[in-house]
Structure 1
Amino acid sequence: MAGQFDAIPGGGASVVLDEVEIAILRSLAVQLLELVGPGDEPVDGEDPLATLFSEGPSEPPADPALARLFPDAYGGPDVKPDDEESRAFSAEFRRYTENDLRARKRDDALAVIRALDALTLVGDEGAVLKLSPEESQRWIGALNDLRLAIGTRLEVTDEDDGGELYRLPDSDPRKPMVMAYLWLGGLQESLVETLMP
C-alpha cells in the first residue's frame, strides 16, 4: 500500500511512492536544508582538526522552528532556562554540539533527496523506494525534523491531540501544511514500526 513502509530482507524498508509524493517529499527536504542552513564551513587550507573542534553558536535561534530543531539543553524546547547558571550551561552545551547537530540534520535531508532523485517512476504505479538500515535511520531523522518544523509553524503543542487539525476547513490556508504534517507522521510511524524487531 502506498505510503506504508514494509520490511525488506537485510533489515531495511521499502515504500511505493507516486510522482506527487516524491515531489512533495523532495520539496520539503530541500526546504529543511534551507532552514537548517549551511553551518560553518571550513575555510580552504584550514586545519581539519581545528575545524572539528571549532565552537558553534551559544545563543538559541530566533526562528521558532529552528529553536525546536535545536532546543536548549536545559529547560526543554518550550521552556527557557530561568536562571543564570542554566543559561550558561545551555550556552556552553550549544557551543560544542550545535554544529555537529546541524551537520547531521543536513546529511539526513540530503540522504532523502538523493534517494528520491535515484528513483525511476514506472508509469502510474509510482516508484519503489528501498532503504538500507542505515538509510532508514537517516529517513527517520529527516521525517522527524520535517514534522517538528511544520508542527512549530502550525503551533502544534505536545498537548494537542490533532483534533483541531483534522477539522480545518479546506479553505483554511494552513490545510496543505496540515495534510503534509499528518502524512509525514504516518510515513514516520510506519517506518519506525517496520524497523522494530
Structure 2
Amino acid sequence: MIVAGREGGADGVRIVLETEEAMLLSELADQVDSVLLLGGDDDPALGRLFPSAYPEDQAAARDFTRYTRDSLVDGKRQAAQSVRDATATDRGAGVVEIELDQSQAWGWLTFLTDLRLILAERVGVTDPDEAEPADDERDDYLRAAYEWAGIVQGSMLEVLDPIGR
C-alpha cells in the first residue's frame, strides 16, 4: 500500500493497493454495511459507532437517537459504498490505483474510523496502545485488519493534514 498526495499538487490523496488489499477493503466495507443494517440495539459495536448523546438522560437519548440515527447510518453506509466503488477491481490486475479528492478522502477516513471501531469491539481492544494476544485465529485476522486499517488511516491523515506538510 502506498498513500501519497495527488499528482500536480492537487488536494487529496492517491492510494495504490495490491489487488488483495483492494479486495480486503471491499469485503470489510461489506461487513461494516452489514453491521449497520443488521446489527441489533444490543450489538456493542453499534454502541461504539453511536454512543449515547445523553448518558444520564434516557429520554433525551432516545429522542436524539430517533431524530438522528437514520441520517448517521445513511452517511456511514455511503462512506462504505464509496470504498466498495473505488476498490472494485478486475481480479487480474496487480495493483489498484485510486485517486480521491479531499472530500472523498475524508469519506474514506470516516469509513476507516467506523471499521476500526467495529473491529476493536469484536476483538476487545479498549486501548489501542495496549496489544493483547488474540484468543483464536479469527481474532488474529480481525486484529490484523484493525491494525492495517489504522496504517491506511494514518497514512491518509499524514497526506491530508496541512500542518504536517
What range is the shorter-chain TM-score in?
Answer: 0.7 to 0.9
Q: Distance in 1 between matches of 2:157 and 2:146?
A: 16
Candidates 5, 12, 26, aligned match of 2:3: 5
Q: Which amino acid aligns with 2:101?
A: S
Task: State the 1:74 CA deviation.
Answer: 2.0
Residue 155 of structure 1 corresponds to which residue in structure 2?
124
Q: How many residues align?
A: 159
CA RMSD in angstroms, aligned pairs only: 2.1
**Structure-2 change in CA distance of 1:90 and 1:24 (3 Å):** same
- The match for 1:65 among 39, 45, 55 is 45
1:137 aligned residue (101, 106, 111): 106
Quote how far apart the aligned CAs of 1:122 are. Answer: 7.7
- What secondary structure, in the 3-state scheme, does the structure 1 residue paired with 2:74 have? helix
Partner of 1:26 in structure 2?
A: 26
Tell me, yes or no, if the aligned pair for 1:121 and 1:127 is still in contact at 8 Å: no
Partner Cα separation in structure 1 for residue 11 and residue 91 of structure 2: 24
Partner of 1:128: 97
After TM superposition, what 4+ stretches of structure 1 lie above 6 angstroms from structure 2? none
State the 1:68 CA deviation: 1.1
Unaligned runs of 5+ residues in structure 1 are 39-59, 76-80
Letter in 1 for 2:42: A
Name the counterpart of 2:161: 196
Q: Distance in 1 between matches of 2:11 and 2:34?
A: 31
Q: Deviation string for 1:139-178 (max 9, x for gaps)?
A: 0000110000000011111x3523225xx59x64311111
Contact 1:143-1:188 at 8 Å conserved across structures: yes
Q: CA deviation at 1:24?
A: 0.6
Deviation at 1:35, TM superposition (A): 1.1
Letter in 1 for 2:25: L
Alpha-carbon distance between aligned partners in 2 of 1:160 and 1:177, rounded to the nearest angstrom? 14
Equivalences for residues 98-113 of structure 1 within 5 A: 98-113=69-84
Larger radius of gyration: 1
Percent identity between matched residues is 31
**Does the Cα contact within 8 Å between 2:48 and 2:118 map onto a contact in 1?**
yes
Partner deviation per Cα, 1:10-58 (whole Å, 9 max, x = no partner): 20101110111011100000111111118xxxxxxxxxxxxxxxxxxxx
Q: Secondary structure at the match of 2:138?
A: coil
The one-letter amino acid of 1:136's match is A
- Secondary structure of the equivalent of 1:37? helix
Higher helix share: 2
Structure 1 partner of 2:67: 96
Structure 2 unmatched ranges of 5 or more: none
